[in-house]
Amino acid sequence: MSKPDNRCDNAKKIKKTIEDTKRNMELAEEMIHKTSDEKLKKELAAKNQRRAQAIPQMAREMQEEARYQREH
Model-level pTM?
Answer: 0.85
- In this prediction, residue 50 carries a pLDDT of 98
Spatial contact of 58 and 21, defined as CB atoms under 8 Å apart: yes
Is residue 23, in this structure, part of any structural domain at all?
yes
pLDDT (tens digit per residue) in 26-62? 999 999 999 999 999 999 999 999 999 999 999 999 9
Domain residue limits at 43 = 10-71
Is residue 4, in this structure, part of any structural domain at all?
no
Q: DSSP characters for 8-67? A: TTHHHHHHHHHHHHHHHHHHHHHHHHH---HHHHHHHHHHHHHHHHHHHHHHHHHHHHHH
Task: Give me the amino acid identity at 1.
Answer: M
**Could you give the number of structural domains in the chain?**
1
The rounded distance, in Å, linking the Cα atoms of 68 and 71 is: 5
Who wins on pLDDT, 65 or 3?
65
Is residue 2, in this structure, part of any structural domain at all?
no
